Amino acid sequence: MTTKKRFLVAYDKYAENLLRHVYFRVSREDLAEDITQETFLRLWRCVLAGDDIKNFKAFLYRIAHNLIIDYYRRHKTASLEETVETEGEFIVEEKNAFEIICDKEMAACALRELDTETRQIIMWRFIDELSVTEIAEITKKTANNISVIIHRGLKKMREKMKNV
């Protein structure tokens, strides 16, 4: 399969989930669409430049993550931390994995209690359904480190929910 064909397949396969992920991070549909479009445009430029991209999904999420951070650095109207904290209510409704842990509201509160990195990794794993390996590629950490962060984050969430 040619790289250009891989790009088209990646777009069809990941565009909707990536848009949803970006929307949860920025809370504005128009902005989420712009960032998602820019993400795929940057991927396309890399494809045309002949860059060897082994995992399009991880690469796309890394680009989107960086674009979101860049946006918040340029626009100080709301901090990234405040936006991420408000995401919990919507995230919990998005995936049954949190329902297994406990009640939606309790899970949202527990999610907000996590540090930013752990919260983001748990969101990637359970909301965006990224594999541990893909998250490791995005964060530039080892897969083992990501697994430990997920395990400790879920444990911390369970402890917070027990105390409520």
Report pLDDT digits (tens) over 64-74.
Answer: 999 988 888 88
* pTM passes above 0.85: no
- How is domain 1-78 classified at the architecture level of CATH? Orthogonal Bundle (1.10)
CATH of 79-164, one of 1.10.10, 2.40.10, 1.10.8, 2.120.10: 1.10.10
pLDDT band at 126 (very low <50, low <70, confident <90, very high): confident
Structure-model confidence comparison of residues 94 and 124, the more confident one? 124
Contact 57, 14 (CB under 8 A): yes
| CATH 1.10.10 domain residues, the chain | 79-164
Residue 110 · residue 160 · CB < 8 Å: yes
Give phi and psi for 125, each to the nearest 5: -70, -50
User: Are residues 66 and 35 in contact, defined by beta-carbon separation less than 8 angstroms?
Assistant: no
Q: How far is CA 37 from CA 9, 71, 111, in A?
A: 15, 14, 28
Q: What is the mean pLDDT of the chain?
A: 79
- The pLDDT-based confidence of 27 (bands split at 50, 70, 90) is confident
Task: Return the axis-axis angle of helices 29-48 and 3-26, rounded to nearest 10°.
Answer: 150
Q: At which residue do the structure tokens 């069809």 appear?
A: 12
